[in-house]
Amino acid sequence: MKAFLSILRNDVRIVLRDVKALLLLLIMPVLVISIFAKALGPLLEKSVFVEPFSIAVVDKESSVWTGILANQLNKLEILDNIYKTDEDEAREMIKRNEVAAAIVIPENITASVDRWEPEQGKVIGNSLLHLESQLIKNIAVVGSTSVSAGLAELYTIRDYEKKADIDPDQVYQDLVSANEEFINVVLARKEVFTETRQDQFEVSAVEHYAASLLAVFIMFASIPCIKLLAQERSLGISTRFIAAPTGGWQSISAKLLLSVGISMAQFLVVCLFLKSAAKGVGRLQIAPFIPVFLCTTVAAAAFSMLIASFATSPASTDLIANLSILLMAVIGGSVYPLPSLPALCRMLSALTINRWSAEGFLAALAGGDAGGISGSCKALLLLAALYFAGAIMVYRLKRRRLA
Amino acid sequence: MATNSLISVRDVTKRYRNRIALDHISFEVNKGEVFGLIGPNGAGKSTFITLLATINKPDSGDILVDGKSIVKAPGSIRKRIGYVPQEIALYPMLSAYDNLDLWAGIYGLKGQQKKQRIAAVLEYLRLGDRARDKVGTFSGGMKRRLNIAASLLHKPDILIMDEPTAGVDILSRTTIAEMIKSLKANGCTIIITSHYIDELELLCDRLAILNKGVLLHTGTLGAILEKTGKESLEALMLNLEEMR
């Protein structure tokens, strides 16, 4: 025990030498959570990566009817600004990336419809905003289809009235009124769409990102310790530990304990921050967090063992650790909500600490759902076992290669 | 077996993949003697040191330290040995004192006893005035001396030194040689490997000559030279190098 405490004290001494890095480790969580909540919070309730965008409308006819048509676009929430302009300027706006697409309404479209030979409109897309362009194209296609359907109806009326030998003026009047009625029906069509609110995120943006990012910070907290382990290995200190009464395992255990200590300090800072952010709401309970935190810490410790088993020097430790934490953060839904990620990412996320940690913390934040918490904890412990087994396998392979 | 044998190497074999690092070697090291291991690169000297220091285990055979097996009871042996690795196994960002403080703690020293022992060892290796300086700022020779100091804190009765004077200045070599003589005078058994033949000739009571994992000769320098018909250890080593 004396030897273990001596190693632990020495590790603390080394880590404390870089006070700035340590302070950064403690302050960064609060800063990053705040920035993420501010920058990405508004996107949390959206299921696609499309933010409101602008389009240009080139109305070459400029009639009452085309005006009504253009105004219908104002009702689309996804559209930010609708610039009415000419075709050349619309093309320039696309080049300047100011608009995602331009809808061109042809000249004499109303008259052409009256003549039963509707003119084709067109959509000019912006390749840099492909998804947005496709949205506008689809809106235009739906509009054109509606007009075609309406015309088909009008053809039928005309043919029947011709056969019935009705006065041509009367036929014309009937068609105009049918046309108006059809347009009114089409314009009212938006009512067929209603949105059911999912209430997927019952927590605030700050809480969501705190839950999502805690695993990232816990993993980062172990980097100074695994770097130290790599340094000891490259300097031959680890070998010296083996020849001493400590054996090698006490040095590794001391570093794991130290990284848990740093994680706990981070966790405490984040809890205080969340507590102050939840002021007035008064719902934040710290207790349900603790099992998730402990399981995340165990998984992060096993993960750091895996990194240490791969790394050969402090520099390679830094690189492997940072890249793998970043990758886990992206795949595990720490950066962007998991439901919005592609299916492959969602599948791979099962292998990340981030996913289960975030789910556990979110369950704890949303009111301490015991089922959600225990499920996440089990998954985290399973991951820890997997990482730990992986680390032992790599160590053994390395030893065999050395032998 | 010699009556005052402390270390008994018994038919030890160690393989690294397809290469035999030590091939059925057997010899004895007597209590209180300075025993030198000599041989060209790849002879198996460092492999033997890692076995004796309980870092690795032999594939077959055993080494007994005072009757205790390094395979079966490495823990009790570790308390008795001081291991000086070939690398400078110290934290460059810490001071000499802090480095020794760690190793003193690992060997169970505490309080005033620890402080006194650290100060004594630093003085012993002429590093007393640099105790609070970072090891990273030390010269190669000073680092080597501190590397040795870290293994002397618990007063081991067996000191295992792997190339302790590699790449050091003459002052540090002299200091280390004086230290070895002084430790021997106090009854410490020392096993040393070195590339400096003159150093081994001067310090060692007995030698073991290894080549490609095979123990070629063991005994006093005079006995080895007589047996091989060579004029000097240097001539013998040159002969070994030519045979490679």
pLDDT in tens, B75-133: 899 999 999 999 999 999 999 999 999 999 999 888 899 999 999 999 988 888 999 99
Question: What integer pLDDT is reported at residue B136 of this predicted model?
Answer: 93
The ipTM is 0.90
User: In terms of pLDDT, which residue wins out, A144 or A83?
Assistant: A83
Is residue A196 over pLDDT 80?
no
User: pLDDT for A94-143, tens place per residue?
Assistant: 988 889 899 988 888 888 877 767 778 888 998 888 888 888 888 888 87
The whole-angstrom distance between A381's CA and the closest CA on chain B is 32
pLDDT greater at residue A85 or residue A37: A85
A78-83 long-range Cβ contacts below 8 angstroms, 24+ apart: A78/A50, A78/A52, A78/A53, A78/A135, A79/A52, A79/A53, A79/A54, A79/A55, A80/A52, A80/A53, A80/A54, A81/A54, A81/A55, A82/A54, A82/A55, A82/A56, A82/A57, A83/A54, A83/A55, A83/A56, A83/A57
Report how far residue A91's alpha carbon sits from residue A94's, in angstroms, rounded to the nearest whole number: 5
Q: How confident is the model at residue A369 (pLDDT cuts 50, 70, 90)?
A: low
Closest CA to A208 of A296, A281, A295, A277: A277
CATH 3.90.1640.30 assigned to domain B5-80+157-243? The reply is no
Domain extents for chain B? 5-80+157-243, 89-155
pLDDT for residue A199 is more than 60: no
Q: State how far residue B142 is from chain A, nearest Cα, in angstroms.
A: 16
Q: Which residue of B has its CA nearest to A229?
A: B91
Whether B18 has a pLDDT exceeding 50, the answer reads yes
B187–A contact, CB cutoff 8 A: no
If you measure CA to CA, which chain A residue comes closest to B19?
A: A403
User: A245 vs chain B: nearest CA distance in angstroms?
Assistant: 5
> Residue A123 pairs with which residues in a beta bridge?
A103
Give me the residue label for tokens 């046309």.
A179
pLDDT tens figures, A277-286: 765 445 567 7
For A13, the closest of B54, B98, B104 (CB atoms) is B98
> What is the overall mean pLDDT for chain B?
89
Between chains, do B98 and A2 touch, taking CB under 8 Å as contact?
A: no
The model's pTM is 0.71
Strands ordered across the beta sheet of B206-211: B81-84, B158-162, B189-193, B34-38, B206-211, B214-219
Position B152 scores a pLDDT of 92
Chain CA centroid to CA A100, Å: 22
Rounded to whole angstroms, the Cα distance separating A177 from A305 reads: 77
Rounded Cα distance, A25 and A208, in Å: 20
